[in-house]
Structure 1
Amino acid sequence: MTTEEVALPDVSHVDVVDAKQMVRGVLRDRRSKLTAKDVENFAPVFADTILDFAADAKTISLYVSVKNEPDTLLAIAALHERGVRILLPKLGPGLARMWAEYTSDDLVVEAPGRPPSPRGEALPSEAVEEADVIIVPALAVNHRGSRIGQGGGWYDRMLKQNVTSKVGALIYPWEFMDRPLPHDEQDVPIPFVLLPGETIQIGR
């Protein structure tokens, strides 16, 4: 289980859209080198970080991890056991991005290539505004809170809604970087970074 820093390409003279794609390619390649055992070893430590960050939240917005993403499944189960209301992304009519409550072990794949989501009723995008804590996926975050996501832009649009300020991005240690990351006016800075065993508030 290695944690060495990732060497990103120089994208200072590249259009921001292309720059993001170049950086994503390197970050995805690094994640692809994780073995199933690596992901398994990180999982309980990520769960502890998520549970600490959630604190006494009544409602939390999370996502279902897939492949080599930092594991969220252990935390989802533990939060459900606590009685926390959990909102997970769900595709609505016309592939609209919506939410659904996690009520039990009822996750299903509703569209090819999409993470599993709850079987229950799709809730409107405004449902996330009820969350006390929001945890978002990322491929990298830097020390100024700039986030590199998967490229869909859904989480940035969601974070521009009237949501809580307790927002954290869940990443591996080598994905928290002390260097500029390509960004534009559509990108929303992240106030917290959730690492295995540690939560960092940006700017402190």
Structure 2
Amino acid sequence: MSISKSNDFAAAGLRKGRSNQKLRTRRVLLETAAAMIAKGQRPTVTEVADAAEVSRRTAYRYFPTQVKLMTEASLEGLRPSMESALDAAPSGTTTGAIEARVDALVEQMQRLALANEPLLRTMIHETVLHSPSDTQPPRGTRRIEWIESAIGPLRARLGPAGYARLVSALALTTGIEALLVLRDIRGLSAAQAVQVSHWMARALLKQSLADRQAGQRRARQKRRDAEDS
């Protein structure tokens, strides 16, 4: 391996390590805040930082306001119910099993979003007031974690690019943002909004698998053409 490539791999590893550390720090702050809220407290960002043994400056980079911290900490409490729903969904790598897991993902995520709509709208408000940064995640990663938990077995089948595209697309069809469009702009009822979210997620999954199969067919045809020439 050339020195240049070795340096590229080292740099990529360093970036990933820093990203993971940021996520861990963010999680520690949220867990600490959630524990304090459970005790009946309404902690400030400074109080949470001190309790978590994280520098106050770092804590304010993640959570510029007390409202944003309190909202995110409250929403973090949704994690167990979401993970339980995915654990109860069919396991396995078959298309049928993954379809069932995507259905479970959408159903539970949208029901939780509807049940916690005021909190989620507050989170949207607090997030858009602060421009996203290349160095700090403006929002949590719960949604991406849940999506990847549902469709993880597709990573090898779709390839890195196809898998990443499907994760991104499913992120657009779930959560409060999808509900804002479907309810505020389209005027759908809660039940109708959930139904459309299901339809979109299934369509995306079906198209992703079809795209992969078409790509494999083209690759086989290309090999045959090369052998015949």
TM range (shorter): under 0.3
Give me the TM-score of the superposition, normalised by structure 2.
0.25
Q: Which has the higher contact order (CA 8 A, sep 6+)?
A: 1
Larger Rg: 2
Give me the TM-score of the superposition, normalised by structure 1.
0.27
